[in-house]
Amino acid sequence: MTTLTPTGSPPPPERDDEALAPARDRPRERLRARGAHALADAELLALVLGSGVAGRSALRTARALARRPVRELAAWPFARWLAVAGVGPARAAALCAAFELGRRSMEPVTGSGAVRGPDDVLPHVHDLVRARREHFVVLLLNARHEMDRRETVSIGSLNASIVHPREVFLPAITHSAASVVLVHNHPSGDPEPSEEDLSITRRLVQVGDLIGIGVLDHVIVGSRGVVSLRSRGQM
């Protein structure tokens, strides 16, 4: 039902500041003139969103999103974006892709030093330290123990049905890795291994021995520290 004003007519449509703003003050023009670093979070989000929808500009949607921390938005899965007014499948995909590119841009250059212990592993997985969901990744090493690739095996809760040996070792076989390092995070912040962590590790070590790709370590990261199962003698 339409709400009427005291005069009996429908209320005027909500102002769209983006449409009313001079062209030079719009996000795209400001980026062109001053660079991306000069834009606010809402303006950057508006540029990723592109165009708005009927009755709702991209900037209006972006301003609502910018009330949340960017770190929180970066962790949203595709389905969560679809729940936002003004964000359909195409815009949800663009936002997921933009945040993933941002994460990848922070990854260190591969082959920049041998991985000999947990201190060498952490620079390659620093983004996992404060991740809100569990990620299980495998670092593929060459014969000199340099990291050639980082592969994400699963995102979600860690259990034996998700972390299957074929998913762990398929990229290692495909890319001719000499050995691997397993890494996963604990969103709770506590890096202490669970019995499930230890069970999965033993299983993967056995499979690695069978196919000739050694598992050098399983490193668990959290905001309160890092645990190396190899250093603890637990694998």
Q: Are residues 99 and 131 both part of a single domain?
A: no
pLDDT at 54 over 50: yes
pLDDT at 158: 55
pLDDT at 15: 44
pLDDT at 53: 73
Q: Are 89 and 82 in contact (CB under 8 A)?
A: yes
Average pLDDT over the chain reads: 84
Q: Are residues 207 and 127 both part of a single domain?
A: yes
Share above pLDDT 70 across residues of the chain, in percent, rounded to a whole number: 84
**Segment 165-194, tens digit of pLDDT:** 999 999 999 999 999 999 999 999 999 999
Handedness of CA 56, 58, 60, 62 (dihedral sign): positive
pLDDT at 170: 94
Q: How confident is the model at residue 104 (pLDDT cuts 50, 70, 90)?
A: confident
Predicted TM-score (pTM) of the model is 0.56
Share above pLDDT 90 across residues of the chain, in percent, rounded to a whole number: 57
Is beta strand 179-185 parallel, antiparallel or unpaired with respect to 214-222? Answer: parallel
DSSP class of residue 205?
H
pLDDT at 2: 45
Number of domains the chain contains:
2
- Lowest mean pLDDT segment, chosen from 134-148, 155-169, 221-235: 155-169
Residue 12 domain flag: no
Rounded to an integer, the average pLDDT of 199-221 is 96
Question: b/e map of 112-137 (b: 16 or more CB within 10 Å)?
Answer: eeebeebebbeebbebbbebeebbbb
pLDDT at 7 over 60: no
Q: Are 230 and 194 in contact (CB under 8 A)?
A: no
Q: Are residues 139 and 182 both part of a single domain?
A: yes
Rounded to an integer, the average pLDDT of 45-73 is 88
Say how far apart CA 103 and CA 119 lie, in whole Å. Answer: 20
Phi, then psi, of 192 in degrees rounded to 5 = -60, 130
CATH number for the domain harbouring residue 189: 3.40.140.10
Q: Are residues 72 and 160 both part of a single domain?
A: no
Residue 88 structural domain: 17-105
The residues near 23 (Cβ < 8 Å, ≥ 6 apart) are 29
Handedness of CA 64, 69, 74, 79 (dihedral sign): negative
Q: Are 175 and 148 in contact (CB under 8 A)?
A: yes
Strands lying side by side in the sheet with 214-222: 147-155, 135-141, 179-185, 214-222, 225-228
| Among candidate residues 49, 81, 105, the one where a domain is terminated | 105
Q: Which residue has the higher pLDDT, 37 or 200?
A: 200
Residue 112 domain flag: no
pLDDT at 52: 72
Q: Are 133 and 162 in contact (CB under 8 A)?
A: no
3-state secondary structure of 27: helix
Rounded to an integer, the average pLDDT of 21-46 is 81
3-state secondary structure of 75: coil
pLDDT at 141: 95
In sequence order, what E strands does the chain have? Answer: 135-141, 147-155, 179-185, 214-222, 225-228
**Segment 116-136, tens digit of pLDDT:** 889 899 989 988 988 888 999
